[in-house]
Amino acid sequence: MKSTLLIRLTSLVLALSLLSPLAAMPVAAQGACWDNSAIQAALAEGRIQPVAAVLSREGIDPSTEVLSVKVCEQGGGPVYVLAVLEANGQARNLTLSAQ
C-alpha cells in the first residue's frame, strides 16, 4: 500500500515538473489559449469535442488520468493541450485537435 502511494506521489511530482516548461512558454508560442467560459461555449455549440471523445478517437488508454486541460489556437484551429498520467506512471503532454 505504501509503495503504491509512493509511486503515485512520485508520478504526480514528475507530471508537475513536466508542466513547468509549458507554463513558462510565452502565450505566443503556445497560441492564444481560451478561458473556461470560451471552452464551455465552444463545447455547447459543438465547435469542439469533449476531451473524453477526443481521447477515445485518438486511441488513448481509458485508464490514462488527465491532470490538466487547456484549449489553445494552433495551426488555425483549436487544440487540447493535456498533461496526462498513464497507468504505468509515465507523465506526458499531449496536443490533440479539439475538433
pLDDT tens digits along 26-70: 444 456 999 999 999 999 999 999 999 999 999 999 999 999 999
**Phi, psi (5° rounding) for residue 97?**
-55, 135
* Percent share of the chain, pLDDT over 70: 69
For the chain, the structural domain boundaries read: 2-97
Nearest Cα neighbor of 60 from 40, 38, 90, 31 is 90
pLDDT for the residue 26: 42
Helix (H, G, I), strand (E, B) or coil at 40: helix
pLDDT for the residue 94: 96
